Structure 1
């Protein structure tokens, strides 16, 4: 379970599902260093997920040919280490914020109006507000109008009170968006710029919602 919680190890195992494969062949298929694949193969073998089918003779040491113990493996998510999914999500979040920040700062360098934070008085509590935007920005919702630099990124984390039906509708829209991105990816056949789409939708408790807006 701990082994298969890692995306890289699953990629290595996938090279042996339904067919025989060598370590070098798996490394080429998974686009990984052969030494890394060799370590993963040995770990998978010790765990009983790979078996040696035969050996290919050659000058020097013979080459082992492996195959997965089964062509269809099911992993119950409830039995995975609790930190496995959290670690992967944290890595994706870190990558997303790094890449989005890099693209945003690139766009800022060419943005003539200038970009920054405006702190201004308001008649409502707490008596002030903070607006991020260009010098000429008006206090509008980011969802109403984007007045920033033409950056090829988008980052947002809106919170709102939604009905159950509305949550399902938003969830459906996000699924359609992911399918659209996947269709573009397939049509580009390896072309285009690598892009990460980071989406999420989750219900909050009342206490979580209050802490968020303190």
Structure 2
């Protein structure tokens, strides 16, 4: 690390830093991050659930999400192995009312333990993919593996094609162009550190600027 060329900034050379140092800075600054509560299934049919906050949506045509899965100290995550083996997974979104259950599924349980059973979570079958969805989650995205990239030793980037979705009726209307009551969902996101989360209740709005209106205002 060194003084930055611009006054008031510090410069960090990530190519000369350890993985832990890079992770700590990135995970503490790229916030808040939405949480993907991923359900997958292994070859023997055991269902696994785990949350991942290196996650977002990245397109609508086709609809895709991306998921970053970091390694455990000694092996790849069960989620990574399950997705690569089966090609199917479900992303459940996390609201404040299920945050504690989500946190319990972070536990370092043995591979033969189902986190869903441990947290007492009810599931329901999906329409197009093998793993089930979590009923307590207000939104579940059924995904099929589209691409995967090994970005480091045991570190995996998953791109999933969203083939179906489930929305709880109290957050979406029945119109031809359905609208979601996003504020009513009470979503949470990851912040810095191991146990820091953010609510999505403190919101503000800004209109997207238009060039014609901007130029007209500058002339007045």
Query: Structure 1 length normalisation: TM-score?
Result: 0.21
Structure with the higher helix share, 1 or 2: 1
With CA pairs under 8 Å and 6+ residues apart, which has the higher RCO, 1 or 2? 2
Query: Structure 2 length normalisation: TM-score?
Result: 0.21
- Bigger Rg over Cα: 1
